[in-house]
């Protein structure tokens, strides 16, 4: 029997797209990530596979005639696509009768709705207390307070981060697009979801998963609301039927076992090593000048959005619950609002604003005002090292 040259066979397999695409399609996201680190041959094959598997335009085409136009609008208005639609995209699966959820700032709701009606043939489905015409609907203004959320508020889900819901549907299909108006920010809405398995979202430039190992490998979804609430209980039942374990009545020892993939009690951010990020093709959007928001690199200020998963001990009981804590920071010197991990970092940002107000030459010009957003990644990095005054490190 002739001896098989295994090295040559491996090289032949992973240089043949039909073969390696069939192999990778049987692997989950975690296995593919591990395989990518084996060697350059596998890395190159996986890059090609992921370009096909994570084709965002193909995914969006189920809901939109022109995905490119929608993503251009997304880049302009900074809305997030989330919910089960993003979970399907990242997991490379399909849930029938699943809706598309868009989370947007209040001042962009009318523009997004107009695009759906005029360019995508959607019709507005008014709610019980909404007028029949979308043009006549009222949109609650943005809550500009610097809100702080603590872990003990873990049961306040769903409506806590939103101020309005606008439904759109095509006559020709059963598909529905829901545009959710964020009270404070779209990312704040994501952090108010019922459990971790749906804490995934897409910008125009990337797809993100906050708890990828728990979601795609362990198939565990940590709950944040009581199952006794009707809407929360239905959500837990739905995702249990989809193969997820939603643990309740956790003990400290059980929670400790899950810490390697939950990373609780430490500040998290969208640019940390625990967040899964998939870059999307932005060149095809033809957005004009290159922006720091078009990348998944560490210089993107959006990826500085932060939070902490904390343990919450219930009184007179060994049972614990998980909760999220963070603050929402906004300032006239920052173009966007951000979730930040703690009061100490807010003080760092306040010091930076104070410096910007008193320095003779503006740090960064954005039109007629100083824009400090590009400094945020470095500030957060320095804060992790020395959480004190940082002027000398700017």
Share of the chain above pLDDT 70, in %: 89
Span 178-193, pLDDT tens digits: 999 999 999 999 999 9
Q: Which fold has domain 56-128+144-283+302-329?
A: Beta Polymerase; domain 2 (3.30.460)
Give yes or no for residue 268 having a pLDDT over 90: yes
Span 32-51, average pLDDT:
92
pLDDT reported for residue 145: 77
- The pair of structure tokens assigned to 207 is 């797809």
Span 131-182, pLDDT tens digits: 999 999 999 988 887 777 776 555 555 557 888 999 999 987 888 999 999 9
Span 316-329, average pLDDT:
86
Give yes or no for residue 286 having a pLDDT over 60: yes
- If you ran DSSP here, which 8-state letter would residue 141 be given? P
pLDDT reported for residue 47: 93
Q: What angle do CA 357, 359, 362 make, to 5 degrees?
A: 80
Give the β-pairing of 176-182 and 100-104: parallel
- Name the more confident of 362 and 354: 354
Give yes or no for residue 226 having a pLDDT over 70: no
Alpha-carbon 303 to chain mean position: 10
Give yes or no for residue 69 having a pLDDT over 90: yes
Instruction: Report the mean per-residue pLDDT for the chain.
Output: 87
SS3 339: strand
Rounded CA-CA distance 213/248 in Å is 19
Which DSSP string corresponds to 192-233?
TSSBGGG-EEE-SSEEEESSHIIIIIS-B--B-S-TTSHHHH
- Name the more confident of 52 and 1: 52
The helix (H) or strand (E) run that includes residue 345 is: helix 343-358
Q: Cβ(69)–Cβ(287) under 8 Å? A: no
pLDDT reported for residue 333: 87
pLDDT reported for residue 324: 92
Share of the chain above pLDDT 90, in %: 55
Give yes or no for residue 272 having a pLDDT over 70: yes
pLDDT reported for residue 175: 86
CA distances, 1 to each of 4, 5, 7, 48 (Å): 9, 13, 18, 35
pLDDT reported for residue 89: 95
Question: How does residue 266 score in pLDDT terms, banded at 50, 70 and 90?
Answer: very high
pLDDT reported for residue 387: 58
pLDDT reported for residue 151: 61
Give yes or no for residue 393 having a pLDDT over 70: no
Which range is most confident: 27-41, 113-127, 170-184?
113-127
pLDDT reported for residue 313: 77
Span 8-25, average pLDDT:
93
Q: Please state the pTM of the whole predicted model.
A: 0.90
Give yes or no for residue 64 having a pLDDT over 80: yes
Give yes or no for residue 25 having a pLDDT over 70: yes
Domain range list for the chain? 10-53, 56-128+144-283+302-329
pLDDT reported for residue 159: 58
- The pair of structure tokens assigned to 109 is 């709701």
Question: How does residue 315 score in pLDDT terms, banded at 50, 70 and 90?
Answer: low
- Name the more confident of 97 and 341: 341
């Amino acid at each position: 029997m002739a001896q098989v040259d295994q090295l040559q066979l491996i090289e032949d397999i992973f240089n043949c797209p039909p073969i390696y695409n069939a192999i990778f399609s049987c692997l989950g996201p975690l296995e593919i990530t591990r395989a990518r680190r084996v060697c350059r041959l596998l890395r190159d094959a996986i890059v090609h596979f992921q370009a096909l598997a994570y084709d965002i335009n193909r995914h969006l085409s189920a809901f939109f005639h022109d995905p490119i136009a929608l993503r251009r609008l997304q880049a302009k208005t900074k809305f997030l696509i989330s919910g089960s639609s993003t979970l399907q995209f990242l997991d490379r699966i399909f849930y029938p009768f699943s809706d598309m959820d868009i989370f947007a700032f209040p001042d962009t709701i009318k523009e997004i709705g107009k695009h759906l009606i005029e360019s995508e043939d959607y019709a507005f489905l008014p709610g019980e207390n909404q007028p029949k015409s979308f043009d006549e609907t009222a949109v609650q203004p943005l809550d500009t307070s610097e809100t702080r959320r603590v872990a003990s508020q873990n049961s306040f889900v769903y409506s806590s981060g939103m101020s309005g819901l606008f439904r759109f549907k095509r006559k020709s299909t059963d598909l529905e697009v829901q545009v959710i108006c964020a009270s404070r920010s779209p990312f704040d809405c994501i952090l108010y979801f019922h459990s971790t398995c749906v804490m995934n979202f897409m910008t125009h430039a990337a797809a993100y998963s906050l708890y990828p190992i728990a979601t795609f490998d362990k198939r565990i979804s940590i709950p944040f609301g009581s199952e006794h609430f009707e809407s929360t209980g239905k959500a837990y039942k739905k995702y249990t039927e989809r193969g997820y374990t939603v643990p309740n009545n956790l003990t400290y020892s059980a929670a400790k076992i899950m810490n390697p993939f939950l990373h609780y009690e430490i500040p998290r951010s969208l640019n940390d090593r625990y967040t899964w990020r998939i870059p999307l093709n932005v060149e095809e959007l033809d957005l004009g000048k290159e922006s720091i928001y078009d990348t998944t690199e560490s210089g993107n200020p959006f990826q500085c959005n932060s939070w902490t998963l904390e343990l919450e001990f219930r009184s007179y009981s060994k049972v614990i619950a998980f909760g999220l804590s963070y603050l929402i920071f906004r300032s006239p010197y920052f173009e966007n609002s951000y979730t930040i991990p703690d009061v100490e970092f807010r003080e760092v940002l306040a010091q930076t604003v104070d410096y910007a107000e008193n320095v003779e030459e503006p740090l960064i010009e954005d039109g007629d005002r100083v824009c400090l957003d590009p400094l945020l990644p470095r500030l957060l990095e320095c804060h992790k090292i020395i959480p004190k005054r940082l002027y000398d490190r700017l």
